[in-house]
Structure 1
Amino acid sequence: MNYTLHQLQVFLKIAQNESITKAAAELHLTQPAVSIQLRNLQDQFDVPLTEVIGRKLYVTDFGKEIAMAAEKILNEVHAINYKTMEFKGQLTGRLKISVVSTGKYVIPYFLSDFLKKNQGVELSLDVTNKIKVLKNLERNEVDFSLVSVLPDSLQIEKVELMPNSLYLIANSDQKTATGIQDKSIIETLSIIYREEGSGTRFVMEKFIENNQLTVPKKMVLTSNEAIKQAVLAGLGCSIMPLIGIKNELNNRDLQIIPVKGLPIQSNWNLIWLKGKKFSPVAAAYLKFIQEEKIRIIEQKFNWINVIKDVNHA
Structure 2
Amino acid sequence: MNYTLSQLEIFLRIAQTGSVTKAAELLHLTQPAVSIQLRNFQSQFDIPLTEVMGRKIYITDFGKEIAVAAESILEQVHAINFKTAVFKNKLTGKLKISVVSTAKYVLPFFLNDFLKLHPDVELILDVTNKRTVIQNLEQNEVDFSLVSIIPQKLELQQMDLLPNKLYLINNNPIDYAKDDNLSEIFQKLTLLFREEGSGTRQTMEEFIFRNDIKFSKRLQLTSNEAVKQAIIAGMGSSILPLIGLKNELLNKDLHIIPIKNLPIKTMWSLIWLKNKKHSPVTMAYLTYLEENKARIIEEKFAWYDNY
Asked which structure has the greater CA Rg, the reply is 2
- Paired letter, 2:298: E
Please, what TM-score do these two structures have when normalized by structure 2? 0.71
Superposed displacement of residue 231, structure 1: 0.3
The structural deviation recorded for 1:249 is: 0.3
- AA of the residue aligned to 2:139: R
- What is the identity, as a one-letter code, of the residue corresponding to 2:186? I
The aligned residue for residue 230 of structure 1 is 230
| Matched residue, 1:289 | 289
1:133 maps to 2:139:
no
Structure 1 equivalent of residue 189 of structure 2: 189
Q: 1:153, CA displacement in angstroms?
A: 1.6
Q: Deviations over 1:39-61 (max 9, x none)?
A: xxxxx99xxxxxxxxxxxxxxxx
Quick check: 1:176 aligned with 2:139?
Answer: no
Q: Distance in 2 between matches of 1:270 and 1:110?
A: 11
Structure 1 residue 110 displacement after superposition: 0.5
Give the CA deviation at 1:83. 7.3
Where does structure 1 differ by over 6 angstroms across 4 or more consecutive aligned residues?
78-81
| Change over 3 Å in CA distance of 1:217–1:196 after alignment to 2 | farther
Alpha carbons 2:173, 2:255 under 8 Å: kept: no
**CA–CA separation in structure 2 for the residues paired with 1:266 and 1:291:** 23
Q: Secondary structure at the match of 2:190?
A: coil
Taking the TM superposition and a 5 Å limit, the aligned residue runs for 1:59-138 are 85-86=85-86, 88-138=88-138
Does residue 214 (structure 1) correspond to residue 214 (structure 2)? The answer is yes
Q: Which residue of 1 aligns with 2:271?
A: 271
In 1, Cα distance between the equivalents of 2:249 and 2:303?
Answer: 11
User: What is the total number of aligned residue pairs between the two structures?
Assistant: 237
Residue identity in the other structure for 1:167: Y
**C-alpha separation in 2, matches of 1:160 and 1:188:** 37
AA at the equivalent of 1:301 = F
In the TM superposition, what is the alpha-carbon distance from 1:186 to its structure 2 partner?
2.0
Q: How far did 1:203 drift?
A: 1.0
Query: What per-residue deviation string (whole Å, max 9, x for no partner) do you get for residues 181-206 of structure 1?
Result: 63231232111001111111111111
Give the TM-score, by structure 1 length.
0.70
In 2 relative to 1, CA 128–155 (structure 1 residues): closer, same or farther, beyond 3 Å? same
Q: Which one-letter code corresponds to 1:110 in the other structure?
A: F
From the superposition, tell whether residues 216 and 198 of structure 1 become closer, same or farther in structure 2 (CA, over 3 Å). Answer: farther
1:76-110 residue CA offsets vs partner (Å, 9 max, x unmatched): xx989957844743111111100000000000000
**1:8-58 deviation line (CA, Å, top 9, x unaligned):** xxxxxxxxxxxxxxxxxxxxxxxxxxxxxxxxxxxx99xxxxxxxxxxxxx
Gapped regions of structure 2 (runs ≥ 5): 1-29, 32-55, 57-70
Query: In the superposition, relative to structure 1, how do residues 217 and 267 fare at CA in structure 2: closer, same or farther (>3 Å)?
Result: farther
Q: CA deviation at 1:113?
A: 1.0
2:200 partner SS = helix
SS of residue in 1 equivalent to 2:150: coil
Cα distance per residue 1:154-199 (max 9 Å; x no partner):
111101111100000001xx36336546323123211100111111
Structure 1 pair 154–216 and aligned structure 2 pair: CA distance change class (3 A):
farther
Q: Distance in 2 between matches of 1:135 and 1:217?
A: 32
Report which stretch shifted further, 240-249 or 80-89: 80-89
Identity %: 58
Structure 1: give runs of 5+ residues left out of the alignment: 1-43, 46-61, 63-71, 309-313
The 2-side partners of 1:225 and 1:80 are apart by 45
Q: Could you tell me whether the CA contact under 8 Å between 1:82 and 1:92 is conserved in 2?
A: yes
Range that drifts further, 238-247 or 82-91: 82-91
Mark the CA change 1:175 to 1:96 in structure 2 (over 3 Å): closer, same or farther. closer
Structure-1 separation of matches of 2:260 and 2:224 = 23
Paired residue secondary structure (1:218):
strand
Output one character per residue of 1:262-303: Cα deviation in whole Å (capped at 9) or x when no partner: 001111010000111100100111111122111111111110
Distance 1:128 1:215, change over 3 A: same
| Conserved? CA contact 2:146–2:268, under 8 Å | yes
Aligned counterpart, 1:304: 304
Instruction: Flag the 1:232–1:117 CA change in 2: closer, same or farther, 3 A.
Output: same
Structure 1 residues 238-278: Cα deviation after superposition (integer angstroms, max 9, x where no partner): 00000001000000111111011100111101000011110
